[in-house]
Amino acid sequence: MEDDELLDLMNRLTAFTVNYLKGRRWRNGSGEVLPNGEDSQSLVQTALGKLLAGAKWDEDKPAWLVLQGIIKGRVQSLVNSPENKKLIDCNEQIFAEPFEDDFTDSLVDEVTTPLDEILEKESQDRIFSIIEELENLGKVEECQIVEAIFCGNIKRADILKDTELDDNDYDAAKKRLRRFLENFRQKMATSHH
């Protein structure tokens, strides 16, 4: 892997990690500084280190997908860590006010069940199948869009920046991708019957 490719991979993984951290509950209210002093960049570096140290992975999957899986596993460990579950730096004013749903929701620990893990794996497998089929059909721009979204880019501007597509190419590829996904869903639905 060339230095430019490695830097691009690290940037994509860092963007994915930042977005992934935002969807979790942290004792300090943000995902900037995590338990054990970790942050998005240290998570990416740790994942790369594990992969280079010989972590077992399915050779058919691209390295970025494997790295995302390693990052997700580490983030889940940090979410469930005792350090994250402690109430630190509490604002006493919160306790003087009536409880609101948002506050009580923030106290609930995020628990991953075996069903959640199965659904997450199925979701990743489906996305991987979509990417693989797009690659087989030579639909490069559509594949770039799916990969950008999978890496955590959900805003149009972020996807355009990540894929380096111009507005017209992006709009055309997005229309083709919608048609492709409709056909893909129908194909998947009929294959299960």
- Tokens representing 170 are 């992006």
Read off the DSSP letter of residue 36: G
Q: What is the Cα 108 distance to its own chain's centre?
A: 22
CA 186, CA 166: separation in Å to the nearest integer? 30
- Tokens representing 93 are 């004013």
Q: Between 3-22 and 63-79, two packed helices, what is the crossing angle to 10 degrees?
A: 30
- Tokens representing 164 are 């380096």
| Extents of the domains making up the chain | 1-110, 113-193
What string of pLDDT tens digits covers the 193 residues of the chain? 688 888 888 888 888 888 888 877 777 666 667 877 788 888 888 888 888 887 777 777 888 888 888 888 888 888 887 777 664 444 444 444 444 444 444 444 445 566 666 667 667 777 778 888 888 889 889 888 888 877 777 788 888 888 888 999 999 998 998 888 888 888 877 765 5
* The overall pTM is greater than 0.85: no
Q: Provide the 3-class DSSP secondary structure of residue 58.
A: coil
